[in-house]
Structure 1
Amino acid sequence: MKLAVVGGGSTYTPELVDGFARLREDLPLTELALVDPAAERLEPVAGMARRMLRAAGHPATVTATADLREGVAGAAVVLLQLRVGGQAAREVDETLPLRCGCVGQETTGAGGLAKALRTVPVVLDIAEVIAEHAPQAWIVDFTNPVGIVTRALLDAGHRAIGLCNVAIGFQRRFASMLGVEPSRVSLGHVGLNHLTWVRSVHLDGADVLPELIRRHGPEIAAGISLPVELVTRLGAVPSYYLRYFYAHDLVVEEQRTAPTRASEVAALERRLLELYASPSADTKPALLEQRGGAFYSEAAVALIASLLGDRGDTQVVNVRGGGVLPFLPDEAVVEVPARITASGAVPLPVAPVEPLYAGLVAHVSAYETLALEAALHGGRGRIADALLAHPLVGQEHLARELTGLLLEANRPHLRWAGAR
Structure 2
Amino acid sequence: MAVKVVIIGGGSSYTPEIIEGFIQRQATFPVREIVLVDIEEGRDKLDIVGRLAERMIQKAGADISLRWTLNRKEALHGADFVSTQIRVGGLAARALDERIPLKHGFIGQETNGAGGLFKAFRTIPVLIELANEMAEICPDAWLVNFTNPAGIVTEAVLKHSAHNKVIGVCNIPFNMRNSVAEILQTPVERVGIEFIGLNHFVFGRHVWVDGIDRTDDVLAALNDGTDYSPANIVGLGWSESFLKSLRMLPNPYHQYYFQTKDVLKKDLAAYEQNGTRAEVVQQVEAQLFEKYKDIELDVKPEELEQRGGAYYSDAACNLMDSIYNDRGDIQTVNTLNRGTIRDLPDDAVIEVNAVITKSGPRPIAIGSLPLPIKGLITNLKTFEQLAIQAAISGSYHDAYLACLMNPLIQDEKKIDSLLRELFDAHEAYLPQFKKEVYS
TM-score in same-fold range (> 0.5): yes
Task: Within 5 Å, give how 1:87-106 maps onto structure 2.
Answer: 87-106=91-110
Q: Give the secondary-structure state (helix, strand or coil) at the position aligned to 2:296.
A: coil
Alpha-carbon distance in 1 for matches of 2:416, 2:347: 29
Task: State the one-letter code of the partner of 1:7.
Answer: G
Q: Give the secondary-structure state (helix, strand or coil) at the position aligned to 1:179.
A: coil
Partner residue, 1:48: 52
* Equivalent residues of 2:125, 2:392 under 8 A apart: yes
CA RMSD of superposed structures (Å):
1.4
Matched, 1:253 2:265: yes
Structure 1: stretches of 5+ with no match in the other structure: none
Match of 1:226 among 237, 245, 249: 237
Task: State the one-letter code of the partner of 1:50.
Answer: E
Partner residue, 1:28: 30
* Equivalent residues of 2:13, 2:288 under 8 A apart: yes
Alpha-carbon distance in 2 for matches of 1:144, 1:222: 20
* Equivalent residues of 2:337, 2:346 under 8 A apart: yes
Deviations 1:371-391 (A, max 9, x none): 001111102111111101111
Alpha-carbon distance in 2 for matches of 1:214, 1:90: 36
Percent of matched pairs sharing the same residue:
38
* Equivalent residues of 1:218, 1:228 under 8 A apart: no
> Please, what TM-score do these two structures have when normalized by structure 2?
0.93
Matched, 1:121 2:137: no
Q: Give the secondary-structure state (helix, strand or coil) at the position aligned to 2:298.
A: coil
Partner residue, 1:319: 335
Task: State the one-letter code of the partner of 2:6.
Answer: A
Shift of 1:231: 2.4
Alpha-carbon distance in 1 for matches of 2:136, 2:321: 23
Match of 2:408 among 368, 371, 392: 392
Alpha-carbon distance in 1 for matches of 2:322, 2:417: 46
Partner residue, 2:83: 79
Deviations 1:82-110 (A, max 9, x none): 00000000000001111221100111110
Match of 2:345 among 310, 314, 329: 329
Alpha-carbon distance in 2 for matches of 1:395, 1:372: 20
The 1:263–1:25 alpha-carbon spacing in structure 2 relative to 1, beyond 3 Å, is: same
Alpha-carbon distance in 2 for matches of 1:222, 1:319: 25
Task: State the one-letter code of the partner of 1:288.
Answer: L
Alpha-carbon distance in 2 for matches of 1:251, 1:151: 28
Shift of 1:216: 5.3
Task: State the one-letter code of the partner of 2:277.
Answer: R
* Equivalent residues of 1:26, 1:301 under 8 A apart: no
* Equivalent residues of 2:177, 2:193 under 8 A apart: yes
* Equivalent residues of 2:176, 2:228 under 8 A apart: no
Alpha-carbon distance in 2 for matches of 1:20, 1:415: 36
Match of 2:372 among 356, 368, 386: 356
Partner residue, 1:186: 192
Partner residue, 1:172: 178
Partner residue, 2:232: none
Alpha-carbon distance in 1 for matches of 2:137, 2:64: 21
Deviations 1:59-96 (A, max 9, x none): 10111001001222111000000000000000000011
Partner residue, 2:383: 367
Match of 2:392 among 363, 370, 376: 376
Q: Give the secondary-structure state (helix, strand or coil) at the position aligned to 2:224.
A: helix
Deviations 1:286-333 (A, max 9, x none): 110101111111111110011122111111000011121111111111
Alpha-carbon distance in 2 for matches of 1:419, 1:396: 24
Structure 2: stretches of 5+ with no match in the other structure: 230-234
Shift of 1:227: 1.9
Alpha-carbon distance in 1 for matches of 2:123, 2:408: 21
Deviations 1:9-62 (A, max 9, x none): 000000111111122223111011100121110001001111111111211011
* Equivalent residues of 2:179, 2:228 under 8 A apart: no
Task: Within 5 Å, give how 1:259-274 maps onto structure 2.
Answer: 259-274=275-290
Alpha-carbon distance in 2 for matches of 1:62, 1:233: 52
Q: How many residues align?
A: 420
Shift of 1:222: 6.8
Task: State the one-letter code of the partner of 2:183.
Answer: M
Alpha-carbon distance in 2 for matches of 1:135, 1:215: 46
Alpha-carbon distance in 2 for matches of 1:398, 1:123: 30
Alpha-carbon distance in 2 for matches of 1:133, 1:351: 38
Partner residue, 2:65: 61
- Range 362-371 or range 18-27, more displaced: 18-27
* Equivalent residues of 1:225, 1:240 under 8 A apart: no
